[in-house]
Structure 1
Amino acid sequence: MTHAAEFGPDLVEVFGPSQADGGPELVQLLTPEGERVEHPDFRFDVGDADEAEVIRGLYRDMVLTRRIDTEATALQRHGELGIWAQLLGQEAAQIGAGRALRPQDFVFPTYREHGVAWCRGVDPLDLLGLFRGVDHGAWDPADHGFGLYTIVIGAQALHATGYAMGLQREGAVGTGDPERDAAVVAHFGDGASSQGDVNEAFIFAASYNAPVVFFCQNNQWAISEPIERQTRIPLYQRALGFGFPGIRVDGNDVLATYAVTQAALQRARDGQGPTLVEAYTYRMGAHTTTDDPTRYRLSDDVEHWKLKDPIERVRVYLTRGGHADEAFFDAVKAEADELGKHLREGCGALPDPAPLSMFDHVYAEEPEELRAQREGFAAYLETFEGSR
């Protein structure tokens, strides 16, 4: 696919200060009412593919991602998961960013990127294993171009920057070969933008012109802290202080998120350095299933954002434009029902880990201290019948 914008020497004209309800400069291609609008710098570009078919695919992705979230929440309520990080309302931000990737790109997620994981081919049952506590993430990052979930807030931004610098040194940036040039995406939330790790990553990425896209899903709540207590300016404008461009996109608009991320990724692959993308969205659910958002935010705010539902606006667009009929929507719903069944049945069947497996994969070469701990724990387990 071709990228959405051509970048001249003055990158700030496209990726720069200008942009707050997200602001008049918020990049948007599909309104909450499901109407297509034009933007002077970005367009939804799918190359030679059938545009309506691609948009139907994005709708399907968002519906299935929401079903993953719904089923996981229900499983946690029934005691099958220890916790779950909800993404309700953030489907467009994740699917748009996820589908803009190329196979050679790599993603460093937080613990909420269920939609991006879906786009990268990770079985959602593998996500449940992590939150059930039976593994640390059962997918192979190398197979999917998608790292393991990061629980430490903001740490993945540094990991992503280091990986991006490695791509530079391997000659996988700026060669002009679309099959080779690669970029990295670091996902984090507005709360993580206040962490030192994220700001340190900005410094290194800018200094080394690293091919990394910092993708911030600004859902406006850092657990119970509103965004206005974290920053005096829009988050995307912070990038200019570090020496690279930033842009704010309607995070409930999957077409705009796709276009902006696509352009930022291509800019990184071309060797033009980092970009900060602020996807302006809203967490309609809880921070996690241990959180009660009614204690710190108004129900009116939630109702306001329900009118901007990212899935409904695409459905309206497809219906009004004659791009999809009820048979299509029924088929997507049926697929979502099958996915839900897969998760419900598969979650309970996930095997418990062997007790001694906690010592595996701690070090590449096991040190004597760890070996002694393993042996001591093994001896302790021997005192229990059938424990191994």
Structure 2
Amino acid sequence: MRHARVGRDGASTSASRTSSMRRRTTTRRATPTTRASTVRARADADEDAVEMDDFDARRVRAFAARARGLRAKVLKELLARAGARSDDCLEKEELVRRVTETWIDTENDAITTRLRQLGNIGGNPRAGYALVTLDVGGEIGLCDFVIDTGATTALITPKALEMLDKENVTEGAAVRGLTGTGETLRQKVSVSDVRLGSKLFVLDAVVTDLSAVGLPPQIGGLLGLDFLSKFEIEFNFTDSALKFWPKGSIANGAVDTDDLVKIPLHLHPVGLRTVKCSLNNSAPFDAIVDMGSFFSVANWMASTTAGIGPDSPEVKRGGLQVSGVDGGSMQMAMAPFDLRVIGEAEDLSSTYRGMCCVGDLPAFNALGASVSPMMALGLDVIGRGRMVFNASDNCMYLSSGDETYGV
């Protein structure tokens, strides 16, 4: 394995050497430094010059450049959050090298893969379920799962379960579940020796037939909040990149959120995450964060509060049909809205101008919104640009968004 080291100028060097490399004799001065597993700060610009691959060089330079743009006080705070020392750093450049070292170590512990999306809806090129591949063993081996922030638990299909090694499956009690179109009662199982990249997990899942929602048979299930909460997840919908960062990566600055809007997540009593939204400058109300939905859906109370009632001329009937895993379905109306996802600061928000579905889903009533505004934020809003989702710390980061879709 090739390791990188950070030089004084932010360039990086490889820790792997060959006998043919030339060395220079230098005089080194004693400088405090720390060593990490993959990167160490170099205290002297004249230290041995060693080749490294371009990828390591680029990412070290990028991290170092970002660190240099921060004040020394901020760099010390980031190191403290990472559990690293800064009291022995006498110059800002030493802080930059140490922060860069920390970020490289953090990124090396992340799981990076290509972001693949399944499906497309006309008029919204960003629509498409986000997929991740797990190694579940057995006959099935590698299997695709849909990432669904609108599910509290993972789901696994009967077909996928049948192809697993039986010794890796433990059956649990039946559980009651909530879908967009109603409630269901299903079997829970625990699957051991499940891998995401090099990480090994136990997957607790509910056995559910997903054919009713139109997913192809090769999809093994959904990954809900119980699994997603193990990571801080960065979705780059523009570059089709997906990264599962270890917890604490946002706090120590390894995940760059400077160009995103921080959105507080609120824990609903059933375990889902909600945000505060506004339609057409209405009073804020709750919205479920639901990556398991192509389009955002508002109930009629939210739409009416925003000035668009069932008989408004803007309403288009017979647009989309929403299907649940229980086989139930219902027709949705559609209408244009100026949607605002309210950020941590009152003057910050992620905005979306476009068509949203409107309908009183049974799930809204089950969540206590039978007589109050509520909506579900789908991939049309969430899946723009770059998004970072951190369920364990109850926050997410969205692109600011100022484009118009489907109006």
TM-score range, shorter chain: under 0.3
| Structure holding more helix per residue | 1
| Structure holding more strand per residue | 2
TM-score relative to the length of structure 2? 0.20
Greater Rg, structure 1 or structure 2?
Answer: 2
Q: Which has the higher contact order (CA 8 A, sep 6+)?
A: 1
TM-score relative to the length of structure 1? 0.21
